[in-house]
Every structure is written in C-alpha cells, then in structure tokens.
Structure 1
C-alpha cells in the first residue's frame, strides 16, 4: 500500500493505492485540460489540481540543497472547504516536483483547516512548520524525513490557542492568526498578524516567546501602526520578518490592498519602521508574499497572483492558482529594496532574438515583426526623453482589438500596466480594494481598476525593463527597483504581437532581446 502521512497526532494513516491513484488522476486530468488553455501559464508554478483559492505560498524553505514550497489548496471532500497545505520541491526554483499534501485537517485534529504559516529549523535542526489552525490557533508539525514528505503534528496543538470567548486568555489583548517564527539566541520568537486590539483598527503583529516551541508567553506588539501610511481597515497578515543587510524587513499583506513591506530597525523585541511601501497597487494582483533564505544567502520571494476573472470563469477553465516567478530581494547602497527574478529563470530561455539598436520617434508605434507569443521574456533598455513616455504593447491582435500596454511615464515618475483592452471577455474584474476576491461591490467601495500604476523614478538612469508574459500572467521589472504584476486574459488566438511606442520625444532603444520561455 502507498503510505501517506496525514499527521493526526503523529499517527500514520494508510491510503489505498486506488484512492491515491484516483486523486492523482484527477490532478492529471485538470492539468491536461489546462495544458490546452493558452491562458494557463506554462513556466510559472500553477496549482496542480482543481482551482485553488486561496493559494498562498507558505513554509518556503531551502533544505538539503532543495527548495520546498508549501501552498494552501482546498480539498472539498473535507468540511469547511478543506483548506490544506500542498507541497512541491525543486532543485532550481523553476522546475517543480509535486508531492502528496503535507498538512491536511483530520477528524482528530483541533483545527478544521490549515491557513498561512512558515517554516524554520528547530534548535535540534529539524524542519518545522508553524501554521494557523482554523478555529484552533497556532499549531506546529515536524518533519519525519529529509524529503519533507511526512509530517507529525504536535499533540500539544494548538500551542497558542485562539481566544474566542471573553473569558479566554488573551481575549481583547492580542490576535492569534497567521504566524511567523524565528530563532533568536536560545529562544523562539513568534509574531501573529492582525489589528490593534481591542478595537481591531490599524495593523500590527503580536510578539510571543518560547523556549521549546510548545509553551509560549505573550510579550507585546512588535510595532506600532503608522496612520500616515495605513488605514484603520488595514491588517498585518501573512507576516514574514527577516534581516537584510543590517536592516529588518516586515513583509506582509493588508487584505484590503495586497502585498507590502516595512523597512526599519529592530532591537530588543521592538521593530521601528522607517519606510512603508506597497508591492501591489490598485488594480494589481500581488498577494500573500513568502520568502526563504537559500544556501547562497539570497532572500527569495514568492507571492500568490490572484485571478482577475470571476469564480464561474475559473470553474469553467478547470484551474486557478498561480505564483509569481521566484524573486530575489536585496538592499542597494541607498538602503532601498531591490527586486529581480532569480538567475535560474534564465534556464527557461530558448529561441533568442536580439535586435539591433533602433529609435522610436515621437508618437510612433512600431510592431516588432520578429517577436511574438504568449510565453515570452523581453529585455529592453532605452534612453527616454526627459518628461516623455515609452512603453510596449504585448499580446496585441492584428487589428489592435486586444492589447496590454506597459508604460513608463518619466514626467509622472510611474510604471503602469493598462489592461483596458487586454480582453474581450466579460468575466474580467480587477478589484480594489480586496484584490484577492474578483468581485465588484460598489456598496463597499470595491471597484474595477483596469490600469495599475506604481511609483517609479529612474533617477536619470537608462530604463531597463524585464518583461515576462506567460499565458494570463504578466510581470514587469524596472531597473531592479520596481515590479508590477498583473493578470491578463486575451481571448483571440492572434493576440501574440509585440509593439513599442513613445511620445513626448524620441526614444533610443539600445537593447531589445526576446526569448520564448518553457520548462
């Protein structure tokens, strides 16, 4: 019999080969359906089964020279949507092997679902997952093998119970929600995301300490909210806290606005943010970021890229749930965060096209005849006239009926993705706030925002764009300083063209390289 660990208080639960094969066949069927769908990304990580919502990356860890990615998916045969953690591993961050689910809520478990969390090495060197158990609190599980296939849940779960009633310890004092745990000296520290108690307004994270990962003591909020940066309705969810070149980064989301980060100083259990920056912008699709530290010292980030089409459209497609490309976070000499795709992404390139330098006249739109496709990387470097605009159209039809426009506006100091004409489908919605939920609700102020605009100042440098088109996902990296991510849904088979354009002055394009991309 195939043995799969479902981790109820450390017991082994056996699943018959028939059951396992049926589950695998369902995943393969969905994958086959998706493989004929030009909107399904081919070189981004996609949920291997049926539509996944949410699809947060969790528990990312580099262990024994292999990258492990855990993620939320839904098993609808279980109660309460059956939120569980799937598991994939890779030697190179871009080609993934799917493993059996790592964490599943069982009938004897205190939790009814597995929500966001993290991974760390215990003091004994054992990989350990820490997660939010729905209707329970903070829970832990430890690895049974070096492949991280089998996990044993702690019999002490929840190690930090969620206070639900007025007489529960911590009620009205702290949140017990998405955990992030790290080792500091001879103790473990945990932050649990949420809002400021007791009014549940403005974001914060609550700090706990433990000597053994089982018994925890509440200390105080990790940081004080800054109303000049965030609103009363914002929260701190999916937190990830780490050191980067002498500074500390608190990476998290607000459910209202998406991925974001604080940059500041940390000492004596207190975090003092100096800067706050969004990583998602109105109309965009970057959510639930998670990082790992690899054996080269790189801080590698993934994020969920929610769908921008209705739930019904996702069900018809038979798939949903996409991650960003792996991204390296760093700080430059000015202590500004930089963001670039990992170098491993370059191994997906083939069929290189390299154009000679050329100029784009004021008001000119040029079709790049040698470059087309739905699964591309483009590398473009250009000198943009001061106060001018330069950009590219991708996924362009012959008559221009569909196109997605990428624009750098030097005068406005912005980088934008305009999806106004990206799709003829009526199923598309780019909601804001609440970018994870593709619905418009004007009574709650949730609107459709077709143009995502991010701040971007070149500081007089040459413009460098790295653009990744993959089915229905678009990632644009600018000078290593900004990244804008968007979902697009071209409907026509001829939506494969690439154009460049400029206005407000001529543009000198010194580099234009293109590759088809495939695993």
Structure 2
C-alpha cells in the first residue's frame, strides 16, 4: 500500500472516530494522546528552530500493537500543541511492519530522523534495519532508506537508535539482544551520518560487573548531565525483587563515566526511573535553555492492556508530562516542566488548607476533573498518612516502615493492586491529576509514580486522613485543558 493510501486510511479513522473519542470521559485533559488508536513510545524529541517536536509510535487502525506510524505534535511552549500530519508511514519494503522508535537531530538547518524499519520476511522472521529521513521544514520528510543492518552475534531485536554529536563525531546507541539472549546497549560512530562504524557494546547484562539484567534492552539514551554520563534503558526480562521491578518491563538508568575512545562505560547500579504502573520507553532531549527534558509512554504492554475501558471508544494510552531532569549525587530527580504552571486556571490557589496538629480524619477537597495538588508536610507525628482519590486511588505513607505506596483498582477485576518504594521522609508531594491518570512527585522529584486509573468520573473527592498529628499546608489548582490545533486537513 502506498504512503498516500495509508495516510488517507489514517485520516479516515480519525474523522470517523472523532466524536466517539472526544466524548470519552476518560479522555485526558492536558496530556498528549493519539487522535485515534494506540500510542506508545515517544520518538524524535527535539527543539528545532525554536519549536518543540514530539513524535510518537502510533497505530491509527487498532487499539493494539501493529505496523506503527510516527505521529507528530509540535509546540512553542510545551503547553499549546499542534497535531501535525504523520512524519513516517510504513510504506517501504524495509519498514512495512512498522516504523519503530528512534530519535532526531539537527544538522546544517535540517532535521534528521533515525528510526528502525521493522520487516517480517516470507518465513515470518523479523528483519530490522536502521533508517534515516530528512526534512527542511520539520514537517515533511524524505526517506533515505536503510543504512545499518544487524551485526554478527545479535538477533533481529536490534532497534531504537538514539543519535547525538560530540566533538565533531556522531554517535548512535541502539538497544539490542545478543544471540545468547542478553540485553545490551551497543554503539556506532560516524563522521558524516552516512558511514557508521560498529564500536561494540557499551553496557549490558553480565557486563561491567553487572549481573543478569534482562534478555532485551529497549530505548537506550546516553547523555551528559552534571558532568556524569547517564544511560537510560528499558530492559525486558527482569524478575521482581521486593518492591523493585514490579512491572512486566522496567525503565531506569545508570550513572557513570563513558570513554568515547575505548567505548568503556564504568557505571553504578541500575535504578528505576518511575515506581508507578504505567511508565515505559522514556526519551530525553536538551532544549535551547540547556534543560534535559524527558517524555515517556504512560502505558505498558502487559496482561491488563486489553482491559482498558477506552478501547471501546477507539483509543488507548498517552504520554507523560514533560519533566526536567536534574542529577543530585547519583540520583536522577524529575520535576514537572516549569511551563506547566500555565495550565492553572488562575494564578491564585483555588483552595488552600493549613493543618496544625490535626488528628485523625482531616478533610475533603472538592476535586475537579484535572487539577494539581501540592502538599508540604512540616511535621508528621502519625504512623500513617493516606490520601484517597476518586474512590479508586490511595496514596499512603507509613512513617515507621519508611514506605510510600500507590494503590489502585485493577483494570481486569477491580481488585486492589499496589506499587511501593522506600522513602526515608515525606516532605513534599505534588500530584498531577487528570481524567484517568496520575503523576506523583515526591520530595521535589526524588521518586515519581505514574499510573493510569479509571474511576467514576462523577466521584471527584480527594480525602486526607491520618492516624496521628500532622502539620501541613495543602494547595490545589484547577487545571485547563491544553490547547490543541490540528494541521491534518491543511496538508
């Protein structure tokens, strides 16, 4: 099928499902979603000519995974977004089963997309190629085809190129699986972005003093932050250990020092980026202000994916809010991008409560569909503090156990399920609540919990309780729906 045929089919899906999708009470108010169908990994994050670009994996025809397009949003401020025509459509022989994840760079005024072309041959075997597309205006792309095939010793699970430039050399890190079924991040280098040299693995299972860490590493991202080299990666196949690695697939990072001459990466332990149920495939970029900004897929492929109620309305999943990364010691902190303050309906706090030695049951906030709640704890003389949200979510801090827990109702059977992390003290809590999602930032981003949830849209109370004395200040802002413009009909 030609590119034009696929585009017409995709636009038809959008138009035919527009009312159904937009009337879904679980449709998010200030998060990026696909106009129809399935969204997953964020791709090609970049600020190009002053404009932020967020590309994303998109299946416009189903709410399941299939031959992915690259959907495309642009913004000048990370708040107001324009839905652009798809940047990549799986119409060529080398990508007919999907234009898989990748990255973007700028060079000499042009925008370059690097991605993995996914192909199933006549025997049903996977074949993967690293591919490139180029644009002068950041909207229309000219594909240049494959330029890297899978090296010897690796399976066709070889994808998600992240490209950057350092000291006049281009580097590319790719997620890989060895023939021994070990996950790795492997490196290529180039002087011209055309001829690439394979440098070998820089990190992986059973390398650099690391034990077994999964059978496949997806979505690698290497960058310098605070004079340290940070490697993000999403390993598959890690067994749960206590409160760690509770999701089917994980996303986390290493902190260390990478030598580009030898491709040796000395690093510490693997640390999870997010403790919630729905966070995967994070990608970062550096903007014109020097900030390192992260987006991730607010979802995951697991046994609950097919039970999400939005499927009945023709869509599934979303992206996280943009987050600024900061390195403090050997810990990555994530903070909501400062621009998100513009989502507040008013500059003033909509509701504020100060608690002084409050005991037992506290109070309820008159919650809305989308809001931000800040809690600053001045003193906690209680064994347990709990925040119940919309009769579905519970946030619980157990001071004696030094444990923070997020509990929600399962999509499959509505039974309670939880994710937890150890937390020495709870000082500050930021909650970004949307129609069917929550993003929780603890202690200025020391730990983060991201999750989808599906509650009665008419039950919007937020109840605070404690079994002892608490001194705290609680602030709430109602948030606007983000401004979205579509350019699809103009193309």
TM range (shorter): 0.7 to 0.9
In structure 1, the partner of 2:243 is: none
CA RMSD, Structure 1 to Structure 2 (Å): 2.9
CA separation of 1:516 and 1:183: change in aligned 2, threshold 3 A:
closer
**Higher-strand-fraction structure:** 2
Report whether the alignment pairs 1:52 with 2:38.
Answer: yes
Q: Output the CA distance in 1 between the equivalents of 2:211 and 2:421.
A: 17
Q: Output the CA distance in 1 between the equivalents of 2:60 and 2:14.
A: 12
Q: Is the 8 A contact 1:386 1:411 kept in 2?
A: no
Q: Is the 8 A contact 1:360 1:502 kept in 2?
A: no
In structure 1, the partner of 2:179 is: 198
Q: Output the CA distance in 2 between the equivalents of 1:232 and 1:477.
A: 27
Match of 1:378 among 364, 368, 373: 373
Q: Is the 8 A contact 1:374 1:496 kept in 2?
A: yes
Match of 2:327 among 314, 326, 331: 331
Report whether the alignment pairs 1:317 with 2:329.
Answer: no
In structure 1, the partner of 2:476 is: 513
CA separation of 1:245 and 1:427: change in aligned 2, threshold 3 A:
same
Report whether the alignment pairs 1:33 with 2:12.
Answer: no
Match of 1:238 among 194, 205, 219: 219
Q: Deviations over 1:468-509 (max 9, x none)?
A: 11111110001121110111111x343200111123x31111
Give the gaps of 5 or more residues in structure 2. Answer: 120-126, 237-247, 483-491
Question: Which SS does the other structure have where 2:17 is aligned?
Answer: helix
Q: Output the CA distance in 1 between the equivalents of 2:473 and 2:319.
A: 31
CA separation of 1:45 and 1:291: change in aligned 2, threshold 3 A:
same
Match of 1:408 among 397, 401, 410: 397
Give the gaps of 5 or more residues in structure 1. Answer: 1-5, 163-168, 396-401, 429-447
Q: Deviations over 1:286-338 (max 9, x none)?
A: 01101111111111111111175525744312211201110000113x34211
Q: Is the 8 A contact 1:143 1:149 kept in 2?
A: no
Question: Which SS does the other structure have where 1:392 is aligned?
Answer: strand
Q: Deviations over 1:163-207 (max 9, x none)?
A: xxxxxx514499632211222223222121123x33113x32111
Count of matched residue pairs: 453
CA separation of 1:109 and 1:223: change in aligned 2, threshold 3 A:
closer
In structure 2, the partner of 1:438 is: none
1:250-289 equivalences under 5 Å are 250-255=231-236, 256-267=248-259, 268=261, 269-281=263-275, 284-289=277-282
Q: Output the CA distance in 1 between the equivalents of 2:357 and 2:459.
A: 22
Question: Which SS does the other structure have where 2:233 is aligned?
Answer: strand
Report whether the alignment pairs 1:453 with 2:420.
Answer: yes
TM-score, normalised to structure 1's length?
A: 0.80
CA separation of 1:512 and 1:313: change in aligned 2, threshold 3 A:
closer
Deviation at 1:152, TM superposition (A): 1.2
In structure 2, the partner of 1:435 is: none
Q: Output the CA distance in 2 between the equivalents of 1:254 and 1:387.
A: 38
